[in-house]
Structure 1
Amino acid sequence: MSKVIPIKQVQAYAEQTVDYRQVLSQSEIDAIEHECALYESRPAAAIDALQIVQRERRWISDESLYAIADMLCMSATALEGIATFYNLIYRQPVGQHVIHLCNSISCWLNDFQTIADHLRNTLNVEFGQTTSDGNITLLPNVCLGCCNKAPALMLDGELIENLDIASIDKLLQSLGGGKNE
């Protein structure tokens, strides 16, 4: 039977605040302030702020989320909604490299399953997992927008199209993750 958490406890957790100056680095603060200056309101810089912190830390921890919310003068709940909506904002730790494998209909029609199976078997992970050495995280992605060059993946923000087993092996070898662990 699942435990029922009182609504007041949930609200207290969701609205926890921290002083951003105690959590964020000066370079993160400066970069976020720069982005805020480009918008009419501070909360409008939310995605930019999340990306800035993620670039430094590879993911957005709860503490980082609360600090960003404090800096942007917005609720942590609203920022959490933004962070969890975008699949390129990571709310859990990820590997040094992140592979987003496109699983759109175009990729399915162009051998997605073979590519997916090969990645999972070679890396010894399932979707949503990170290799035991912390090097590579494998994630599915609904669409990368390159259907005419399927199958495709995005590695650390770079699109790689027209995949086959040989190109996957070459890619993994370049990342130091080409053998079962």
Structure 2
Amino acid sequence: MAEPDQPDETEQGSSHADDGLDLARRTARSLAGGPPARKPRRRTVPRAETRGGRPPLSGAYPDERDPQPLDTTVDRLVSDRGWELDLRVHGVFARWAELVGSEVGEHSTPESFTEGKLVVRTDSTAWATQLKYLAPTVVRRLNEELGHGTVTLLEVVGPAAPSWKRGPRSVRDGRGPRDTYG
């Protein structure tokens, strides 16, 4: 029987927790063969109502809803999108002078990488010739950084020639500046 100053289980609200003295009473009744005590019904709250429209906290152990370290999140994004090789190639582009040497790096710039072909632009035709002689060494060094067989061809191009197609009096299929230096 319940004590007079203590409310009975049935009088308690739905927010009552089953612990302590109430749990001991219910256990004793069930072992004594008395009528089984009813467990208070819990009110089920829809997921959207739990914290002002936000999902509930994840609890004591970490899961995917917890804040994640940035490096873990970025690594997962890179692997999901298949960007590993692209990032390594752009890392090589950023360290170009370190990989090929400071003198060659001052006079050449990597422009693009597609399907194993690396295009490098030099600032003079003399440096283009020099880099063509160094191509096997540069390809070997790049494959050490990126993985065996990543770079298969090194295409070296000289400086871009100026375009004479601009101006109010340009002529299509004209000879260019030859007739003006007379």
Structure 1-normalised TM-score?
A: 0.24
Which fold has the larger relative contact order, with Cα–Cα distance below 8 Å and residues 6 or more apart in sequence? 1
Larger helix percent: 1
Structure 2-normalised TM-score?
A: 0.24
Which has the higher Rg, Structure 1 or Structure 2? 2
